Amino acid sequence: MCHALAAQGIKIGRYRVKSLMRQSQLRPVWKRKFIYITDSKHHMPVAENIFYSLVWDCAS
């Protein structure tokens, strides 16, 4: 926000922007660093874990 205002020629600090946004009841929208792409609550069947059986076969 500060960078966008600076590009328009308005000098304002980030804490002033933060307080003005709070007064106007505006909340920032953050870009998510990690997006969950797995739906673990689906009703489809889940494949068995063959890696687990391969590890135990190799160990014995």
pLDDT: which is higher, 20 or 40 = 20
Whether 16 is covered by a domain: the verdict is yes
Whether 52 is covered by a domain: the verdict is no
pLDDT tens for each residue of 28-53: 888 878 777 777 777 888 888 777 77
pLDDT: which is higher, 50 or 26 = 26
Whether 55 is covered by a domain: the verdict is no
Q: Which residue range(s) make up the domain with 20?
A: 1-29
Whether 34 is covered by a domain: the verdict is no
H helices within the chain, ranges in order? 2-7, 14-23, 50-59
How many CB atoms neighbour CB 17 within 10 A? 17
Q: What is the mean pLDDT of the chain?
A: 82
Whether 1 is covered by a domain: the verdict is yes
- What is the total count of domains within the chain? 1
Whether 23 is covered by a domain: the verdict is yes
Read off the pLDDT of each residue in 22-29 and give the average, rounded to a whole number.
90
Classify burial at 5, counting beta carbons within 10 Å of its beta carbon; exposed 0-12, middle 13-18, buried 19 or more.
Answer: middle
Whether 12 is covered by a domain: the verdict is yes
The pLDDT value recorded for residue 47 is 81
Residue 16 contacts residue 1 (beta carbons within 8 Å):
no
pLDDT-derived band at 24 (thresholds 50, 70, 90) equals very high
Q: What is the largest CA-CA distance in the chain?
A: 71
Whether 47 is covered by a domain: the verdict is no
